[in-house]
Each structure stands twice: as structure tokens, then as C-alpha cells.
Amino acid sequence: MAMSSSATSPSPSQVSAAAPLLPPLGHEQVVFCHDQATGLRAIISIYSTALGPALGGTRFYPYESDEAALQDALRLSRSMAYKNALSGLDHGGGKAIIIGDPATDKNEAMLRAYGRFVQSLGGRYVTAADVGTSVSDMDVIAKETRFATGRSEVNGGAGDSSVLTAFGVFQGMCASAAHVWGNPSLAGKTVGIAGVGKVGSHLTALLLKDGARVVVADVNSSAVVALCEKHREINVVADVFELVRSDLDVFAPCALGGALDDATVQALTAKVVCGAANNQLVVEGAGGTAQALMNRGITYAPDFLVNAGGVIQVSDELHGFSFARAKHRTEGIFEATASVLRLSAEKGTSPAEAADHLAEERMATVGSNRIWLPTG
């Protein structure tokens, strides 16, 4: 792993990691960025460019330590590589962290300084919005770099990605239904949605159109009220605790990460779990939450696969956004989910392991290490 750092000038000079600071996770490059004038402190982590420029969002978050920020950058950039590979994108995986509180520390000068660091990598890393950054922040960053996507529609971007994210989750759910019940339709099935924000509310509409019954829970009562005004036929329960214990065919976590802890897995009545939230499995890896779900006969559609509609959208924007093209590509989540569930059944491994296997295979066999530069 090459480590690069820069003081005030955004021209990263490569220096080798002198000490075994980190576990050898196989990352290609980690860049530490500091801009004295604006107080910017950031880490850009590139896990892989095997399939093309590393694509992944910028997280703006007040980490308790630099070490915690670094670990998150390493973990998240690796996840992005797997997600992009499995989605069939010509992108490697990367992620950036800006250390600070977005509510108090974020300003135009800092975002622009950050944009100059992204530009200095010459297209090896393409950034987008994540926790703590928004579409309008990408507009600001894009003033300094060609390598920012997920911008607003008025600035030539594709805007909110939740429509395609929900569409992709729906595709994954239909593929899971076909795998479990032999029919891709959700008609007559009861789907419990935890979190009816941007993605959960779009998903509700798709499910109702398909003839499913929808039960929802959200800590934000105004989100629930707004959804009920739009769709009077949905049912509402008090909280996620009650939702997972109610009579469900499918559970769709669409709120925060860590939705599938031990107690939830044991209490679930649903036969399928498929939702948008990132990092749903509390214990990752062999013998973890994925195994507990398998032991209970619950089919789990891996989160990083089914929620890829958003990254498909921001990737498409780099080519001049076409909603039709991005939607068509998002439809591919159906077949990708079906392949993962087939492989999982054949090998007796969890869907999460099968998804990792297919992503690794694509990175190893399709990878060309080329860097593609958007025009403009």
C-alpha cells in the first residue's frame, strides 16, 4: 500500500509506509490531505482501480480519532470496490473522509480545497456524496475538479439518487422472491419497511403497484404521515421492534446500518431480507450474521448489491446522465441478485460470501488497470 501526504499543496508525493501502521488489506493508495488555510483534514482511500477509476463518496464526520477515520476510509473504500465490481460498473472502489462536523465545520473554501486534492489524483479517484455531504456540496467540489459526480440537475448532474436506489432494491426483492417462492412478483406478499425516508417511500410505491401489502415503521412521524397521505392502504406499526415481529414475508431495512443484530435475526418472521440500508449485518464474515440468517432459513439479498442503483446513477452522470440508461443498468440488479442466490445455494455459502466471490472474480478477470478520464 502506498501512502501519500501533502501539506498545503495538493500534489501528493508518494512515500512508503514506514511502519506497519495498518493491517495489510491490499489497498492501492491512501492519501492524507491537509490544507492549512481552511483547516481541511481529509483521507482519500483507493482500494482498487482494477476496473477503472475508484468511485465512492466523501463522508464528512467528526471521528473521535484520526485512526478511527482511517479505518473507516479503508473499510468503506474496500466495500465500494466490491459493490462497483458486482454492479458491473467500470469503476474501482474508493472513499474519502473529511474529518469534522459538517454542521459547523463545512464551508465553501474547505470543500474547494478538498476538490483540488481530488483533482490532483488525475482521475484515479472520483468522488460523490455520502453521509455529511450533499448534492450541493458536490456542485461546490466540482468547481475545482472534473472528478466529482452526483451533482444537482441545474448544474448538469443527475440529482437525487433515491429513485433508482429504490428501483434497484425492488429488483433485488423480485429476484429474491423468485428464488424463494418461484415467482418474482410480490403480489399478495407482506413487506415490512423500516425507514420511509427517500428510498423507503419510493420503494413503498413500487411495492404497492406490484400488489404487495406494505407495513412501515419510522422514528420520524412526519415521514410516516406524509407517506400515509399518499398511500392510504399502508399499515403503520410503532417501531422496528414491532415490525420485525409482525407477520412479514419480506423485511426491508431502509433506515440506518446495523439493522440485523442477533435479536432481530432471531425474531424475524420474514423469509427474505432485502433493503437499502448499508452495512446491515452487525457481524460480518464467516460465522457472523449472514450465517445466523442462513441457519434460520432466511434469504438475505446483500445490501451492497441491491442498493447499487445510487452508484449506478452517479457513474452514469460521468457520461452525461441518461435516466433511461441508468434505469436499464439498475434492472441488472435482478439478474445479479439471482446469480448470487444461485451460487450461494450451489456452494452452501451465505449470499454475502457468494457476492464477494463474484466481485473478486470480476476484479481479477476483467480488470485492466486503465484510467478513464471524463471529457470536459
Ligand X SMILES: NC(=O)c1ccc[n+]([C@@H]2O[C@H](COP(=O)([O-])OP(=O)(O)OC[C@H]3O[C@@H](n4cnc5c(N)ncnc54)[C@H](O)[C@@H]3O)[C@@H](O)[C@H]2O)c1
* Residues annotated as catalytic (active site), given as ranges: 95
Give whichever of 43 and 158 is closer to ligand X, judged by the CB atom: 158
Q: How far is the CB of 151 from ligand X (least distance, A)?
A: 14
Give whichever of 33 and 273 is closer to ligand X, judged by the CB atom: 273
How far apart are alpha carbons 289 and 261 in whole angstroms? 7
Give whichever of 35 and 218 is closer to ligand X, judged by the CB atom: 218
Give whichever of 183 and 220 is closer to ligand X, judged by the CB atom: 220
Which cell numbers in the block locate residue 207? 411495492
Q: How far is the CB of 72 from ligand X (least distance, A)?
A: 14
Give whichever of 208 and 223 is closer to ligand X, judged by the CB atom: 223
Whose CB is nearest to ligand X?
197
Q: How far is the CB of 81 from ligand X (least distance, A)?
A: 16
Q: How far is the CB of 40 from ligand X (least distance, A)?
A: 24
Give whichever of 53 and 310 is closer to ligand X, judged by the CB atom: 310
Q: How far is the CB of 372 from ligand X (least distance, A)?
A: 23
Q: How far is the CB of 99 from ligand X (least distance, A)?
A: 20
Residues that bind ligand X (CB under 6 A): 161-162, 165, 194-200, 217-220, 223, 240, 254-256, 276-278, 307, 310
